[in-house]
Structure 1
Amino acid sequence: MNSNKLLAWIQLSRPVNVLITFVSIPVACWIAGGSAPLQLSYLLAGISGALVAAGANAINDAFDIEIDRINRPDRPLPRGVLTLRDARRMWLMVSIVAVAINLFLNISALLIVALSIFLLTYYSARLKRTVLIGNVVIASMTGMAFIYGGAVVARLERALVPALFAFLVNFARELLKDIEDMEGDRKENAVTLPIKYGTAPAIVLASASILLLIGTTIAAALLGWYAPIFLSLVLIADVLLGATVLLVWRSAHPATMRRASIMLKMSMIIGLISIIAGSL
């Protein structure tokens, strides 16, 4: 395998998203486990989740190849570096390994992973091009990373708050990505919220989700759900979230939506660090 193809495989998996998943799930296990010492099961869960994410990204690109020829021509499949068969093979292999890893964990974790693979694949095949349903599913899957972590340590109740944080920020991000991708989605007859009702409702809903997230993080700090350092750190994320809202109201241009999406991803990372620090 030459270096160009190896890099294409890595790009197909969307390594930043995979890395975030790999880190988030052991953190979720650790938080749900009451900050107990790190266990091998946490690492196995992180690997399993990362493989699910990589497979989901690969199969998503396979279904989106025609749209990506317009919206993201630099992706491996539109460029022709990898084939549709390559993407499907990658999805199948990593999904099998992801499920198999959970045989060493517990039945709840295995069922969550199997359900996640099914929903993420169905999302790429059908739900992605629907009004709001696809957005809710993919945002729920991001929150599911924390639910999965809670299942691994059999403490689901401790995973609910960070799962809500993850859902809200990713729901907003999915809506903004729909605005960014409108040109290609129209050519593929996708029926997303901004295509059917215009960009304004999508921006309003995304902004509402972000503002609810800001309020929820402040409430979590004031109610003492995390140590005091949580508030100091999460305020950085909240400022970034507020700046994102202001940005998207200035312009609905695809480049603006892409920048806003990056800002939301940065706020996710800062938020995760805040939860870790607040759980020490």
Structure 2
Amino acid sequence: MLALTQLVFHFLFFKNQQDLPLALADWQFILLVIATVTIAAGGYVINNIMDQETDGFSKPNNVIVGKHISEGMAYNIYVALNIIGVGIGFYLANIIQKPSFSAVFIVVAATLYLYATNLKQNLLVGNIIVALLVAFSIILVGIFDLYPATYEGNREQMGLIFSILLDYALFAFIINFIREIVKDIEDMDGDYNSGMSTLPIVLGKDRTSKLVFGLTLIPIALLIFYVNKNLSDIQWVMYYALLFVLGPLLYFLIKIWGASTKKDFNHLSLILKLVMLFGILSIVVITLNMKGNA
């Protein structure tokens, strides 16, 4: 989904903006996607290494490390993925003549390591970090593709495009933050046995579910406001947003109130993943509408 988001913005949205200069050639942008995905995959691997005990209790059928591959092999894969991601990031930062930007990839890789080994055990800290990193993967497109190509003559156009990126990043942050809490409820028993301090362990499953209900009102309100302000004159985009993004969110809101079983929360986590997917694909609908009106 990270890769899809970045590819959609570069190849569909940016490419269909009139006279929009981009800092990265298509093949270079694909390298940026590979760097993003490999570092994210490295974070996934180190998280699986550290979660062997928890996963063995809460989802034994999905255990990979220690069951399908050895812990030593997993560490080797983790190191290799990060070397690839950081190496590509260093190369791209020099391509756009911003060598200091390579630090972004090092910081993200280090944050994912700290998340897996320590930070996720702290109340809400892990949830916020994961949501921030997902949102940052969208902003990263602007940092490497737009910012280096910005000059005085196109600053207004670039600012508008970047503001759209930030809108999507904010939406991605909120949805992923809520989803991380839902996943914590789903994995509550395993996390408790591992001595973790997640929100459902501190507040209880029922109170956390009600809190998630309240939090979900935020993206619903923001989406209604955004559609009314920016998309009301673009009917097809407005209908898409209401049906495929707002609709599943309202369904989630109804279901979370009475959710109680592990299966319920797994289903709700999937619904939020679909909301993210449809949210990403909305940029395709917007781009097609722009081409149709050109």
Q: Give the TM interval when normalised to the shorter protein.
A: 0.7 to 0.9
Matched residue count? 261
Change (3 A) 1:32 1:99: farther
Moved more, 207-216 or 135-144: 207-216
Distance 1:268 1:204 in 2: 22
- 2:150 alignment counterpart: none
Q: CA deviation at 1:66?
A: 0.3
CA contact (8 A) 1:171 1:206 kept: no
Aligned-pair distance for 1:198? 1.1
- Partner residue of 1:263 out of 263, 266, 271: 271
Can you give the 5+ residue segments of structure 1 that lack an aligned partner in the other structure? 1-19
Q: Specify the structure having the higher radius of gyration (Cα).
A: 2
Q: Can you give the 5+ residue segments of structure 2 that lack an aligned partner in the other structure?
A: 94-98, 148-161
With over 3 angstroms needed to count, the CA separation of the structure-2 counterparts of 1:78 and 1:120, relative to structure 1, is: closer
**What is the CA RMSD across the aligned residues, in angstroms?**
2.3
Q: Which amino acid aligns with 1:52?
A: I
2:48 touches 2:65 (CA, 8 Å); kept in 1? no
Measured after TM superposition, the shift of residue 108 of structure 1 is 6.0
Q: What residue number does 1:233 align with?
A: 240
Instruction: Measure, in 2, the Cα distance between the counterparts of 1:158 and 1:182.
Output: 36
SS in 2 for 1:224: helix
Matching of residue 176 in structure 1 with residue 182 in structure 2: yes
Provide the TM-score with structure 2 as the length reference. 0.81
CA distance in 1, matches of 2:237, 2:79: 39
TM-aligned CA deviation for residue 33 of structure 1: 7.6
2:168 to 148, 162, 166: 162
Q: Does 1:105 align with 2:105?
A: no
The equivalent of 1:136 in structure 2 is 128
Residue 146 (structure 1) shift: 0.6
User: What is aligned with 1:23?
Assistant: 4
Give the number of the structure with larger relative contact order, counting CA–CA contacts within 8 Å between residues 6 or more apart: 2
Distance 2:63 2:14 in 1: 37
Report Cα offsets for 1:162-184 as digits up to 9, x if no partner: 10010011011000000000111
Matches of 1:152 and 1:132, distance apart in 2? 30
Q: Whole-Å Cα distance in 1 between the matches of residues 106 and 74 of structure 2?
A: 19
Counterpart of 1:153 in 2: which secondary structure? helix
Q: Distance in 2 between matches of 1:230 and 1:267?
A: 15
The residue type equivalent to 1:246 in the other structure is I
Distance 1:92 1:78 in 2: 15
| Shift of residue 138, structure 1, vs aligned partner | 0.6
User: CA distance change for structure 1 residues 76 and 68 in 2, over 3 Å: closer, same or farther?
Assistant: closer
Q: What is aligned with 1:54?
A: 41
Residue 108 of structure 1 contacts residue 151 of structure 1 at CA under 8 Å; is this kept in 2?
Answer: no
Q: Cα gap change, 1:228/1:87 in structure 2, threshold over 3 Å: closer, same or farther?
A: farther
Written as runs of structure 1 = structure 2, the 5 A alignment for 1:48-87 is: 48-77=35-64, 80-87=67-74
CA distance in 2, matches of 1:246, 1:109: 43
CA displacement, residues 85-134 of structure 1 (integer Å, 9 cap, x when unaligned): 12211111111111111233224652322221111111111111221111
CA shift, 1:157, in A, is: 4.1
Q: CA distance change for structure 1 residues 162 and 34 in 2, over 3 Å: closer, same or farther?
A: farther
**What is the SS of the residue equivalent to 1:88?**
helix
CA contact (8 A) 1:32 1:158 kept: no
Measured after TM superposition, the shift of residue 216 of structure 1 is 1.8
| TM superposition score normalised by structure 1 | 0.85
- CA 1:47–1:253 in structure 2 vs 1: closer, same or farther (change >3 Å)? same
Question: What's the offset of the Cα at 1:228?
Answer: 4.4
Match of 1:192 in 2: 198
Pair 198,76 (structure 1): closer, same or farther in 2 beyond 3 Å = closer
Preserved contact between residue 231 and residue 237 of structure 2 (Cα < 8 Å): no
